[in-house]
């Protein structure tokens, strides 16, 4: 549950039990449309421009307006907190990083929301080739990586380079600069510029093929070749290249390795990567068979706690564990979720916000630092004390985390709370003693004795935050 969701909740544990166990629950998650997600859907009404088409954004906003991008970031965060389609949201996050388009960023102010729906969400549990084919004609991607302005007589190599290095085969495939140039030539003419506009102004954010900008002549990339003799067929040339790259063995290995890094450990075994790559190729780039093979592998079973959560996951999991719920009708654009979004920005890990094309790193070494730790600790205390409550309802901590059965001793409180917040983990005797020593000090006594109601009210939020601050909370 920790590795396939953004954090365990009582409802999530009930869903897994009702499904008949983890594997049966995963099969349900592979079909997200079959899962009722009404609570989350109601919350998303606070950010209406998270799903609007570029034409609407152009018609209602001034050029460069960030409203749609900001709505998308906040809606993405809300989905991660409240959606019952948790594996789907984890995979949306995975693919949004793989095909990263920094959001907010000036070039995609009108188009990133469209990309989120029609490229990533439409294919997150489908075929990778379909996702890549959608991406190659995505206005946001064409603008972000400069292909929208690429002409055959002066190709822009940026998108072609990232297509090979990041989106498909990777540096280890052994391609040369001439492969990048030929890929750029094959992609030339894929644009968003309206041919009827003499000033070459931006179209309404829809894909345009400019045949007169397409390079004509033979092209070859890593064993793929095409005569490319007719400018009118430039889109078909690009799609042929994409189909080839999506099925390339190096792409299969790259996707397999990234999935293994996400769900197993920072340095997965070569054997696991090979097996997953073979499933990817045998399944015609379908993602679900790869995930099914990964989640039933011995390597996955033997890697519990081997992955460290990224900063946003640490904080989001806290919101989920503490039972934060949206209040329909009370949510507004600048609610508690919006405030959380800025906290995650301070941590360098807001949804969709990585500033480079390679997406957020997903290894522990990338997320070290006292500043990150301190910001996370402050965020945990803010959540445990219910300070962010604009549009969000926080349940009573004792009722939610102790099931109404209040322990009569400090020992009992620590044991009950850690069991509830850290399921499947054993707190070491030394760490348990540290929790108790903290409580004794906070209560102003060397031996606080029996747990008094007033002490519980005062110290439970702080103890909850301390558990969330612990190393146990930092692992997936």
3-state SS of 239-260 is HHHHHHHHCCHHHHHHHHHHHH
- 467 CB-side CA count, 13 A: 28
H or E segment to which residue 325 belongs:
strand 325-326
- What pLDDT does 447 receive? 60
What share of the chain in percent tops pLDDT 70? 97
Res. 271 pLDDT band, cuts 50 70 90: very high
Contact 61, 332 (CB under 8 A): no
220: three-class secondary structure by DSSP? strand
Overall average pLDDT of the 239-253 stretch: 98
DSSP letters of 107-137?
A: GGTTTHHHHIIIIIITTTTSBHHHHHHHHHT
Contact 383, 319 (CB under 8 A): yes
- What pLDDT does 455 receive? 82
H or E segment to which residue 237 belongs:
helix 234-246
Residue 328 token pair: 């329909």
The set of residues, in sequence order, having a beta carbon less than 8 Å from that of 175 and lying 6+ positions away, is: 164, 169, 221, 222
- What pLDDT does 200 receive? 45
Each residue of 49-104: pLDDT tens digit?
Answer: 999 999 999 989 988 999 999 999 999 999 999 999 999 999 999 999 999 999 99
Distances 9 to 41, 74, 134, 262, 420 between C-alpha atoms, Å: 18, 21, 35, 21, 10
- What pLDDT does 169 receive? 98
How many other CB atoms are there within 10 angstroms of residue 409's CB atom? 13
DSSP at 33: G
Residue 162 pLDDT > 80: yes
Res. 178 pLDDT band, cuts 50 70 90: very high
- What pLDDT does 84 receive? 97
Q: Is 360 left (phi over 0), alpha (psi -120 to 50) or beta?
A: beta
Overall average pLDDT of the 340-353 stretch: 97
Residue 186 token pair: 């094959």
- What pLDDT does 436 receive? 92
Each residue of 451-462: pLDDT tens digit?
Answer: 888 888 889 999
392: three-class secondary structure by DSSP? strand
- What pLDDT does 449 receive? 66
Residue 291 pLDDT > 90: yes
Overall average pLDDT of the 179-202 stretch: 80
How many other CB atoms are there within 10 angstroms of residue 317's CB atom? 24
Residue 446 pLDDT > 60: no
Strand-pair partners of 450:
409
Phi, psi angles (nearest 5°) of residue 225: -145, 155
Residue 343 pLDDT > 70: yes
Contact 56, 110 (CB under 8 A): no
Overall average pLDDT of the 456-472 stretch: 94
Residue 128 pLDDT > 60: yes
H or E segment to which residue 191 belongs:
strand 190-191
Residue 198 pLDDT > 60: no
This prediction has a pTM of 0.96
Distance CA 81, CA 74 (A): 11
The set of residues, in sequence order, having a beta carbon less than 8 Å from that of 442 and lying 6+ positions away, is: 459, 462
Residue 435 pLDDT > 80: yes
Residue 215 pLDDT > 50: yes
Each residue of 369-408: pLDDT tens digit?
Answer: 999 999 999 999 999 999 999 999 999 999 999 977 778 8
Res. 440 pLDDT band, cuts 50 70 90: confident
Overall average pLDDT of the 227-255 stretch: 98
- What pLDDT does 196 receive? 57
Contact 391, 335 (CB under 8 A): yes
DSSP at 20: T
Residue 202 pLDDT > 60: no
Average pLDDT score, the chain:
94
Res. 134 pLDDT band, cuts 50 70 90: very high
Residue 471 token pair: 């190393």
């Amino acid at each position: 549950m920790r590795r396939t969701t953004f954090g365990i909740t009582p409802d999530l544990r009930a869903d897994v039990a009702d499904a008949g166990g983890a594997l049966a629950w995963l099969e349900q998650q592979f079909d997200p449309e079959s899962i009722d997600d009404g609570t989350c859907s109601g919350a998303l009404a606070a950010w209406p421009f998270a799903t609007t088409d570029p034409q609407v954004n152009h018609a209602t906003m001034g050029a460069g307006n960030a409203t749609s991008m900001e709505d998308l970031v906040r809606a993405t965060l809300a989905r991660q907190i409240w959606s019952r389609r948790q594996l789907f949201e984890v995979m949306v996050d995975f693919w949004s990083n793989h095909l990263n388009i920094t959001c907010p960023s000036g070039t995609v102010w009108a188009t990133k929301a469209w990309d989120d729906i029609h490229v990533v969400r439409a294919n997150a549990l489908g075929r990778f080739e379909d996702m890549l084919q959608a991406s190659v004609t995505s206005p946001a991607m064409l603008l972000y990586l400069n292909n929208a302005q690429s002409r055959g007589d002066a190709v822009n190599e940026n998108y072609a380079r990232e297509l090979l290095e990041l989106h498909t085969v990777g540096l280890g495939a052994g391609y040369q600069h001439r492969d990048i140039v030929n890929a750029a030539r094959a992609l030339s003419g894929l644009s968003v510029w309206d041919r009827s506009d003499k000033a070459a102004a931006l179209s309404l954010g829809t894909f345009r093929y400019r045949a007169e900008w397409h390079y004509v002549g033979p092209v070859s990339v890593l064993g793929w070749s095409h005569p490319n003799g007719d400018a009118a067929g430039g889109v078909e040339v690009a799609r042929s290249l994409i189909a080839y790259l999506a099925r390339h063995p190096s792409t299969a290995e790259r996707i397999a390795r990234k999935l293994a890094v996400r769900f197993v450990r920072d340095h997965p075994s070569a054997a696991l990567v090979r097996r997953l790559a073979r499933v990817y190729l045998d399944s015609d780039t379908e993602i679900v068979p790869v995930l099914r093979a990964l989640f039933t592998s011995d390597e996955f079973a033997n890697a519990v706690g081997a992955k460290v959560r990224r900063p946003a996951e640490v904080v989001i999991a806290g919101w989920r564990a503490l039972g934060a719920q949206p209040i329909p009708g009370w949510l507004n654009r600048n609610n508690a979720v919006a405030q959380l979004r800025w906290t995650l920005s301070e941590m360098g890990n807001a949804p969709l916000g990585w500033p480079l094309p390679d997406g957020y790193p997903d290894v522990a070494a990338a997320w070290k630092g006292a500043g990150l730790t301190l910001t996370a600790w402050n965020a945990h205390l803010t959540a445990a004390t219910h300070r962010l409550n604009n549009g969000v309802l926080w349940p009573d901590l004792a009722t939610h985390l102790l099931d109404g059965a209040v322990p009569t001793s400090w020992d009992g409180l620590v044991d009950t709370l850690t069991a509830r917040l850290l399921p499947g983990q054993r707190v070491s005797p030394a760490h348990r003693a540290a929790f108790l020593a903290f409580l004794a000090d906070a209560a102003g006594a060397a031996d606080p004795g029996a747990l008094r109601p007033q002490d519980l009210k005062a110290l439970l939020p702080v103890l909850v935050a301390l558990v969330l601050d612990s190393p146990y909370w930092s692992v997936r």
